[in-house]
Amino acid sequence: MALREILPTSTLIFPEAKPGINVLTEIHRKSLTDPNGFWKKVADELYWTAKDGPAFEEMNQPPYGRWFSGWKTNLSYNALDRHVAGPRKDKIAFHWEGENGEKRKLTYTDLYNEVNRFASALEKLGVKKGDRVTIYLPMIPELPIAMLATVRLGAIHTVIFAGFAAQAVANRIKDSGSKIVITSDGAYRRGKTIALKPLVDEAIKLTTGIEKVVVVRRANNPVTMQPNRDFWYHEIMSSAEKYVEPKQVEGTHPAFILYTSGTTGKPKGTTHGTGGYMTYAYYTQKAVFDVNENDVYWCTADIGWITGHTYIVYGPLLSGVTSLMFEGVPDYPEADRWWSLIENYKVTIAYTSPTAIRMHMKFGDQWAAKHDLSSLRLLGSVGEPINPEAWYWFFKNIGQERCQIVDTYWQTEGGGMLISPQPGLAKIPLKAGSATFPMPGIDADIYLEDGTAAKMGEKGYLVIKRPWPGEMMTLWNDPEKFKQVYYSRYPNVYYAGDYAMKDNDGYFWLLGRADEVLKVAGHRIGTVELEDSLIQHPAVAESAVIGKSDPVKMEVPVAFVVLKPNYEPSAELRKELSNHVRKTMGPIAVPDAIYFVAKLPKTRSAKIMRRVIKAVVEDKVIGDVTTLEDETSVQEMKIAYAELRAELTKNQSKTP
C-alpha cells in the first residue's frame, strides 16, 4: 500500500472553511467552460496598448493554445509604470538585506528609475527587441532590475543561477544565442567571497556570440576587464538616460528563456510568452497569497529558478506588493537568520521549500521560539511534495497554528502554481501534505499507464488536459523535443512527469517525479514515499533515498538519514528505522542499507543532489558539484558509506 493511502486524509485543518470548496469549484468550472472570457476579464486589470482578437485561440498542435496573440503590452510597464503613475509610487517594492547585513529599500519609483536607466544603458550597448540577454547575478537588487530593463526593451532574458560552472553557463549562452552577459565581480556565501566574473570569462572562451559584458560591483574582489567588451554597471549607469519608452510587444512575444538543469543531456530552454505568463503570474499571486496593500511578502527562493521569476519578481510587482529579498542562506551566521528577518521586517507571508523546513526542524524548535512571528498570516510551500510531519511543524512552530499553509504544486514549464489552496478566492479546509485542488484554468487529472483515468486513491501520472495561460510556448530551438517530452505520452494531453493521486474528497496528493522511482524486483517504489516514511520516525530530521544497482532485484533502495538533536547513530536505531519502513510501506521497500550523516548534499537553493548520492554509493565519478552548498557533505557520505560496508563485511566473515 502506498504511503499516501494510509495517511489520515480525513483530518481537516480549518474545517469551518468547508463551504469555500463550492466557491472554488464554481470558479474552476467557469475558467474551463469559457477560458477566453475568464482570462480576458483578468487581463483587463492589466495595461495593454492593443486588444485585437480573443484572449485565447485553439491550435491543432502542441501546446494546443495561443494566448493574447493580437494584444500588445510590456511586462516592465505593468510591473512599474502603472504603479508609479498612481498611489503606489512611494510604496516600497523591495526590502533587500545582504548576507553581511547591508540593507536597501527600493520604492516603486526607485525601481522604476533604476530600470529605465539600465534599459537605456543596454540600448546604448546595442540591445534591441528579440535579442537574448544572459543574466548571471547573485541575489542583489540589480538582478530584478536587469530582468525588467531587458523586457522593457522587448529583449528576452535568460537568468542563470549564480552557482553554475563555466561550462553550464557556456551551454546556456550558446543555446539561447545571447549577445550580452550581465554579471558581478563576485558574491557572498557563508562569509566567503565567490568570484563570478572569472567564470563568465571562462564561459565566453567556451562559446561564441557574446559582444558585451556588464559587471556589477558587489564583492570588490579583483577582476580583469577586457577593453571594449567589459563595462562596469555603475559607469554605464552614470551616462544613461532617465527614461526609455517601453517597447510594446505581442502577447506571444517571448519574455524569457529559463533552462531546466537536469542531470544528463542538454538543458531544456523553457520559453514563456509575455501576455499569458504576465496574466497568470498576476492572477496566481493574488489568488494564492491573498495579497493586500499592507503585506510584506517573502519568497525565499533564488531568482535563478522559476519560483523566483514568478513569485519574487513578476507576480509581486504586477500586484503592487512589498517584498523582502534576501541574499544569504537560512542558517548563517546562526540557525535563526530567517526568523529574525521575519521579525525585523514584519513579514506577513512566507513562501519556502519543504527541504528548508526540514532543515529547520533538524535545528530544533528553540530557534524560532526566540522570535516574534506574530506578523505572519500565511505560509507557503514549494519545490517538492511536503511530508505531513514537516507540514505540521511549519504550521505549529512558525504559523503558531493560526496561519493557513498554501502547499503549491507547479513546474518551470507551468509558469505559476497549477495545484494549490487559493485563499484569495475562498478559504477551504486543508490536509497536511496535500496541494488540494487545481487552479482556475488547470484541467488536471491522473492517468494510468494505458491512458485511462485513475480511480480515487489510485496512483498514476498527473496530466493537464487543456492549455493554460502560464504554460511555456515551446522549448527554445527545439520544438520537436517540446512535443516529444510533454505531448507524446498521451495524445493532446500535457504530461507533467509527476506521480499523484486523488483521495475520496478530490484532494490531489503529489508523490514526486515519475523518474524518481525505483524498480525493486519488478515493484515500482517512489523515492519520495520512502523518504516520507523515514521522516515519520521521531528520530529522523531529513532523508534521501536513491536506487543502487542489484544483480538480483535490479535495484535496491539505499537511504541516507540526518538525525534530530539528542539522537545518536546506532545499529539498534538502524534496525528500528528498517522496521518502521517495513511497517509503513511493506517489506519490499525496506532499504538495503541506512547510512547516518550530519548533512545531505544540497544545492545552494536547498535541493538534495540525489545524483551525487548515487555516484558515491555506486563508486562513480561525481561530476560537476559547483552548485553544492557544502562540499564536506560529500566526504561525510563517503566515510559513512565506507564504514558501514566495512562493518557489514566484517559481520559476514564471522557468519559460519
* pLDDT digit string, tens, across residues 284-339: 999 999 999 999 999 999 999 999 999 999 999 999 999 999 999 899 999 999 99
Main-chain dihedrals φ then ψ at residue 86, nearest 5 degrees = -130, -160
The conformation of residue 31, written as its DSSP 8-state character, comes to H
- Give me the pLDDT at residue 651, please: 58
Residue 649 lies in a domain: yes
The CATH number of residue 554's host domain is: 3.30.300.30
| 64, burial (CB in 10 Å: exposed 0-12, middle 13-18, buried 19+) | middle
* C-alpha–C-alpha distance, residues 309 and 293, integer Å: 21
Output the nine-digit C-alpha cell for 438.
487545481
Rg (CA), the chain: 24
Q: Cα–Cα–Cα angle for 350, 31, 436, nearest 5°?
A: 40
Specify the amino acid at residue 182.
I
3-class state of residue 198 by DSSP: helix
How does pLDDT run across 478-521, given as a tens digit for each residue? 999 999 999 999 999 999 999 999 999 999 999 887 877 676 65
Residue 10 has pLDDT above 80, yes or no: no
Does residue 561 fall inside a structural domain?
Answer: yes
What's the pLDDT band for 30 if we cut at 50, 70, 90? Answer: very high
Alpha helices per DSSP H over 364-500: 366-369, 388-393, 479-487
Please state whether beta strands 268-273 and 65-67 pair in parallel, antiparallel, or not at all (unpaired): unpaired
Q: Please name which of 105, 203, 263 lies closest in space to residue 610, comparing C-alpha atoms.
A: 263
The model's pTM is 0.86
Q: CA–CA distance from 30 to each of 34, 350, 441 (Å)?
A: 6, 30, 9
DSSP classification of residue 412: G
Nearest-5° angle of CA 236, CA 237, CA 238? Answer: 90
Contacts of 265 by beta carbon, 8 Å cutoff, 6+ apart? none
| Nearest one of 378, 379, 334, 382 to 360, comparing CA atoms | 334
Grid coordinates given for 561:
538519514
Whether residue 602 lies inside any domain: the answer is yes
Does any domain span residue 638? yes
> In Å, how far are 76, 84, 118 from 240, measured between CA atoms?
18, 20, 7
Give Cα 600 to chain centroid, integer Å: 19
Instruction: Please state, in angstroms and as integers, the Cα–Cα distance from residue 283 to each residue in 89, 289, 500, 531, 548, following that order.
Output: 22, 10, 25, 34, 43
Read off φ and ψ for residue 55, nearest 5 degrees: -70, -35
Length of the chain: 656
SS3 544: strand
Q: Report percent pLDDT > 90 for the chain.
A: 76
Strand segments (E) across 390-473 = 404-407, 444-447, 460-464
Q: Measured between alpha carbons, how far is 76 from 418 in angstroms, rounded to an integer? A: 24
pLDDT score of 655: 45
- Residue 170: how many other CB atoms lie within 10 Å: 21
Percent of the chain scoring above 70 in pLDDT: 93
pLDDT per residue as tens digits for the range 569-580: 999 999 999 999
Number of structural domains, the chain? 1
User: What distance in Å separates the CA atoms of residue 329 and residue 337, rounded to the nearest whole number?
Assistant: 8
For residue 368, give the DSSP letter. Answer: H
**Residue numbers of the domain that contains 594:** 516-654
Torsion angle (degrees, nearest 10) of CA 343, 347, 353, 359:
0
| Residue with grid cell 540557525, as numbered in its chain | 335
Cα–Cα distance for residue pair 156/254, rounded to 1 Å: 6
User: Cβ of 137: how many Cβ atoms within 10 Å?
Assistant: 28
- Alpha-carbon gap, residue 598 to 562, rounded angstroms: 5
| Residue 181: closest CA among 206, 201, 151 | 201
pLDDT given at position 150:
98
Q: Does residue 642 belong to any structural domain of this protein?
A: yes
Residue 298 domain flag: no
> In this model, does residue 656 exceed pLDDT 50?
no
Residue 3: the pLDDT is 40
Does residue 184 form part of some domain? no
Instruction: Give the helix/strand (H/E) hosting 234.
Output: helix 233-238
Cα separation, 176 vs 173, whole angstroms: 5
Report if residue 314 sits inside a domain. Answer: no
Kindly report, residue by residue over 636-647, the tens digit of the pLDDT: 888 888 877 776
